[in-house]
Structure 1
């Protein structure tokens, strides 16, 4: 028996997961992003509080003495979410209103995506279709959604469908124009290279054109999703009793400025989270491909 066989086996080192450094790095990046984002809201809250306490007058004649303090708005926001702090009819009702508004935004936005993306691709690939539709689209596009609101009430009626229609109008043109621009900006040399490599004309669309245009399409989707939350309030101001826009309307009628600002903050947070979810969905679908602009 040799000496090497009597030597005790050396302990095997436990290998750390290969993804550990990457996970730590991503966590550090996120923490750094949060720390960079905090100073501005904190500064605005301090200026807001000082402005209310000092009765500041801002440009355009804004009288800050009539605004509630950040603490009062925070109390109202907490009462909206969980109840038990103020105890009025709005206590604990936030989630009902938020759910109703989110469903309307999703429906209007999804309808805009279903129409605008295919239409933008067709217009970008077909010159006759582009020449046929482009003048009409650019004629209708400048009409503000607020001008469509009274007409939608007359031709559709009160309720969810009118609001969904307005959200659709707010989103469809941003998606359409970005899709069209993305498809038309595909370099001709890229198409020539694909043809030289044997790509069939029928396969060029989803193998070359769409991958090249998707970053701009995603940019249009993000813009349209933000506009959807903006126009939601317009659609929910008339004939709807449940929704964030309806809540703002009721608060305005009762002169509850703390409730108005609290719901405005909720809409901002909802739009921000919706954008983050859209970005996350794109990253999950894209994998390692750089589809985000």
Structure 2
């Protein structure tokens, strides 16, 4: 590829990225305008939502700045964003990685072996519908307060999307790929990681992205009891103090953290797999 071609391709990528951001921008801007108008007009929305109890977007923005760098309100939450975010991100990462280590190999086995699938599928589908929130009280009793219970809840939230997507991806691997590998002398055991897993990668990655989002959702549940540091703990403390602006700030930070985590996950897979079409 010539230098001119590479420059043109890079320019098209930058133009596409700017176009994506410009298309996405009107929705949050409109949401902020409606939020402002709703609070000023004391709107009542469906489900009985009273907009008059919400702070103005500008007040939430000031609280977010103070939470990040301090200097606005100078209270116990000022400048503590990175402490809370770092603690929460560590718990999410531990639970997510544990789910990947368990779910991917198990999904490959269940997808390839009819016997293993018939042995484990009833148990998986029995445990899978149990809400993680129902596990929380039991987790506190059998594990106790602290990081380990939160990591376990994150693991439970993340493991099933990865497992089911891995099983689905492995079952959709064309039989002709395995036949071709066999004709080329690839042993069946090696075919699992040389043929099956690479072919199922798009489905596995999709499951991981879903799991990462769920991990941030469940994080708040795990951090509501017995933990002093973390975004969920911060939201719980703000609720006890009826500080609505701080609750919304916590929600915004979790949303941004989940967004960045999804993008970083996609970046990791692009680096690992290069030009292979594994991400949509």
Q: Which runs of 5+ in 2 are unaligned?
A: none
- Once the two structures are superposed, the pairs formed by residues 3-82 of structure 1 within 5 Å of their partners are 16=3, 18-82=5-69
Residue 263 (str. 1) matches residue 263 (str. 2)? no
Report what 2:204 is aligned to. Answer: 217
Report what 1:234 is aligned to. Answer: 221
Q: Which deviates the most, 268-277 or 119-128?
A: 119-128
RMSD: 1.2
Report what 2:237 is aligned to. Answer: 250
Runs of 4+ in 1 over 3 A off after TM superposition: 15-18, 196-200
Q: Deviations over 1:249-276 (max 9, x none)?
A: 0000000000000110000000000000
Residue 129 (str. 1) matches residue 116 (str. 2)? yes
Report what 1:199 is aligned to. Answer: 186
Cα distance change, pair 222–85 in 1 and its aligned pair in 2 (3 A): same
Q: Deviations over 1:15-51 (max 9, x none)?
A: 9555211111111111111101100000000000000
Report what 2:99 is aligned to. Answer: 112
For 1:176 and 1:236, the matched residues in 2 are separated by: 25
For 1:249 and 1:199, the matched residues in 2 are separated by: 55
Larger gyration radius, structure 1 or structure 2: 1
Of the three residues 130, 147, 156, the one matched with 1:143 is 130
Report what 2:264 is aligned to. Answer: 277
Shift of 1:198: 4.1
- Once the two structures are superposed, the pairs formed by residues 178-197 of structure 1 within 5 Å of their partners are 178-197=165-184
For 1:216 and 1:16, the matched residues in 2 are separated by: 35
Shift of 1:206: 2.2
Of the three residues 155, 158, 161, the one matched with 1:171 is 158
Shift of 1:70: 0.5
For 1:202 and 1:240, the matched residues in 2 are separated by: 45
What is the total number of aligned residue pairs between the two structures? Answer: 279
For 1:148 and 1:200, the matched residues in 2 are separated by: 42
Q: Deviations over 1:213-236 (max 9, x none)?
A: 000000000000000000000000
Residue 161 (str. 1) matches residue 148 (str. 2)? yes
Q: Deviations over 1:60-79 (max 9, x none)?
A: 11000010010000000000
Shift of 1:194: 3.0
SS at 2:144's partner residue? coil
For 1:234 and 1:201, the matched residues in 2 are separated by: 43
Report what 1:6 is aligned to. Answer: none
